């Protein structure tokens, strides 16, 4: 069992060497329901350095045998885990909605995506991992193969507590690595349910480990530990860069996926209803708490007023509330701290002279951490709300005279994660594809769409320039070995 009952409270345990164990710190912390102030979801371990050391050592001992298994055999474990997770979609999604507020429909969709990720990477166990290369010596055989990195440290955020851990762990595992995952504290209970699916699938002891607790403590412990060979991280730029510096000092591989300030361009020939719907979906679903969420809405002057009217009309139909309630479209911010961050950006937008068109208020204060969907206009590209990642349901409208100006404005950001354009003009499409500095560009679709079989990652300050998901994951989670046989 991944939990224990102690003094009438449910406590989630660490998972080390195939067993669910309590931290030797004997300390726990509470996971709160952001939709219901005062409701505790459960407790998780505040782990010690010793806990992490045990997990890392266990992973090292298990990795050698795991790496020697045939890829198809490793894939069988992932297939079994996928089947178990599929049976438990309702339970896992319930924990997700309770812990971070995402609507139950979105939580079920994310969990189903986790099932698909496991099945996709199970199939990777049967794919080619090298090439035969002609040698200058006619009597020699030369080819490449790929070998696992060893033990991979996985640090994941709270906004996708099923999908992100799995899109990191599944490729790490199928390519022969062992893992130690440190999930975000706000969603540690949800992550433990995912780990339990791997446990119940019979994955060998030590191949997967989970340690919960302080990110500042466990995260730095992870990157500095001698048994860790690589770090894959999704989170803030500040923390990501700290991890990168430490990884460089140790000479280990690192992968960072960080922030975004994602634009959507609405051209003067766009389908405005489609653009408005996609802007709302891309910017406000999951309460805007996606790294690929639409934030800047750059609209051609010829259609600005009409688009604005359609956007506002659609936004006024959004229902805010508990993600379990029928009819709720947008849930709460994930925590009190996240709510305060969003409200502070809204206030800064007003102070800097942007016009608040809609929303901007905290609502249902006596219930949870709710804020209205919010739209600003009359903003300039230099304003804080147009430059910094808010990670909340806040859209900023920006008017432009030409498509050239729109592209220039869209690229005027330190980030380069995702971007989209709405247009029916092939020239606009091609210019956007060629000139947009983002790792994911989408045409006539919301900025937040990410497909598991395709490479995902950002440019500029949004990532360390590697790619996750799809076949591209093999580039990070393995090393190439060139073989020469005489």
The catalytic position among 257, 389, 446, 468 is: 257
3-state SS, one letter per residue, for the chain: CCEEEECCEEEECEEECCEEECCCCCCEEEEECCCCCCCEEEEEECCCHHHHHHHHHHHHHHHHHHHHCCHHHHHHHHHHHHHHHHHCHHHHHHHHHHHHCCCHHHHHHHHHHHHHHHHHHHHHCCCCCCCECCCCCCCCEEEEEEEECCEEEEECCCCCCCHHHHHHHHHHHHCCCEEEEECCHHHHHHHHHHHHHHHHCCCCCCCEEECCCCHHHHHHHHHHCCCCCEEEEECCHHHHHHHHHHHHHHCCEEEEECCCCEEEEECCCCCHHHHHHHHHHHHHHHHHCCCCCEEEEEEECCCHHHHHHHHHHHHCCCCECCCCCCCCCECCCCCHHHHHHHHHHHHHHHHCCCEEEECCCEECCCCCCEECCEEEECCCCCCHHHCCCCCCCEEEEEEECCHHHHHHHHHCCCEECEEEEECCCHHHHHHHHHHCCCCEEEECCCCCCCCCCCCECCEECCECCCCECCCCHHHHHEEEEEEEEC
The catalytic position among 291, 333, 372, 389 is: 291
Is 306 a residue of the active site? no
Is 291 a residue of the active site? yes
Residues marked active site are found at 257, 291
């Amino acid at each position: 069992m991944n939990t224990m009952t102690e003094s009438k409270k449910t406590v989630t345990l660490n998972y080390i060497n195939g067993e669910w164990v309590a931290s030797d710190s004997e300390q726990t912390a509470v996971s709160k329901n952001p939709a219901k102030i005062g409701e505790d979801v459960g407790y998780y371990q505040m782990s010690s350095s010793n806990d992490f050391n045990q997990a890392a050592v266990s992973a090292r001992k298990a990795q050698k045998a795991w790496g020697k298994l045939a890829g198809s055999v490793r894939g069988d474990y992932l297939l079994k885990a996928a089947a178990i997770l599929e049976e438990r979609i309702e339970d896992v999604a319930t924990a997700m909605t309770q812990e971070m507020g995402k609507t139950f429909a979105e939580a079920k969709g994310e969990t189903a995506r986790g099932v698909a990720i496991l099945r996709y990477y199970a199939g990777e166990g049967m794919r080619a991992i090298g090439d035969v290369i002609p040698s200058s010596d006619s009597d020699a055989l030369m080819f490449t193969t790929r070998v696992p990195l060893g033990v991979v440290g996985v640090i994941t955020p709270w906004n996708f507590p099923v999908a992100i851990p799995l899109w990191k762990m599944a490729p790490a595992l199928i390519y022969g690595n062992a893992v130690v995952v440190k999930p975000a504290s706000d969603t540690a209970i949800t992550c433990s349910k995912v780990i339990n699916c791997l446990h119940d699938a019979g994955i060998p002891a030590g191949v997967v480990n989970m340690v919960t607790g302080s990110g500042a403590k466990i995260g730095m412990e992870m990157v500095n530990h001698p048994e860790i060979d690589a770090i894959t991280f999704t989170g803030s730029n500040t923390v990501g860069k700290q991890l990168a510096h430490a990884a460089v000092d140790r000479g280990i591989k690192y992968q960072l996926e960080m922030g975004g300030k994602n634009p959507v361009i609405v051209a003067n020939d766009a389908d405005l209803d489609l653009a408005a719907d996609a802007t709302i979906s891309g910017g406000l679903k999951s309460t805007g708490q996606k790294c690929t969420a639409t934030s800047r809405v750059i609209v051609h002057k010829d259609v600005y007023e009409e688009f604005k009217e359609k956007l506002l009309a659609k936004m006024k139909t959004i229902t805010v509330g508990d993600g379990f309630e029928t009819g709720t479209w947008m849930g709460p911010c994930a925590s009190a701290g996240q709510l305060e961050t969003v409200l502070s950006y809204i206030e800064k937008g007003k102070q800097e002279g942007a016009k608040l068109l809609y929303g901007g208020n905290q609502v249902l204060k006596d219930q949870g951490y709710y804020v209205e969907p919010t739209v600003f206009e009359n903003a300039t590209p230099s304003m804080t709300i147009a430059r910094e990642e808010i990670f909340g349901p806040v859209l900023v409208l920006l008017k432009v005279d030409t498509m050239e100006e729109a592209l220039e404005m869209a690229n005027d950001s330190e980030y380069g994660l995702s971007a989209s354009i709405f247009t029916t003009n092939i020239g606009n499409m091609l210019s956007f594809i060629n000139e947009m500095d983002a790792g994911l560009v989408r045409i006539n679709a919301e900025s937040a769409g990410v497909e598991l079989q395709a490479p995902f990652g950002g440019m500029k300050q949004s990532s360390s320039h590697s790619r996750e998901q799809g076949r591209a994951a093999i580039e990070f989670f393995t090393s190439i070995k060139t073989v020469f046989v005489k």
